[in-house]
Amino acid sequence: VRVLGVWRFDFLTQYQQRMEVDALLVESDTPDFLIGEDWMYALGVKIDFLASEMKWYAEDEKVVVPFAGIGTAQTP
């Protein structure tokens, strides 16, 4: 995969938690958003697919980041 550059996101989640993310922009023909496994293991990230949220602790603060995936908008 060819890396085209780095983009820094600085935003608030829907829970008013500030996040800063450095993302690699890569050449791809899909709209996928990839998260590094090493980063997830290092922070102890848990992915809750039913709630569509990623959760982890940063120091003493619980961080919750919502996401949308394939099937998120579908109803049973």
Residue 76's pLDDT band (cuts 50, 70, 90): very low
Task: Please give the tally of structural domains in the chain.
Answer: 1
- Tell me, yes or no, whether 65 lies in a domain: yes
Q: Classify the C-alpha dihedral 48-52-56-61 as positive or negative.
A: negative
- Tell me, yes or no, whether 50 lies in a domain: yes
- Tell me, yes or no, whether 17 lies in a domain: no
Q: Could you write out the three-class secondary structure of the chain?
A: CCEEEEEEEEEECCCCCEEEEEEEEECCCCCCCCCCHHHHHHHCCEEECCCCEEEEEECCEEEEEECCCCCCCCCC
Question: Which pTM was predicted?
Answer: 0.57
Domain range for 42: 35-76
Position 73 scores a pLDDT of 58
- Tell me, yes or no, whether 27 lies in a domain: no
> Residues 9-46: pLDDT tens digits?
888 887 888 888 888 888 877 777 677 788 889 989 99
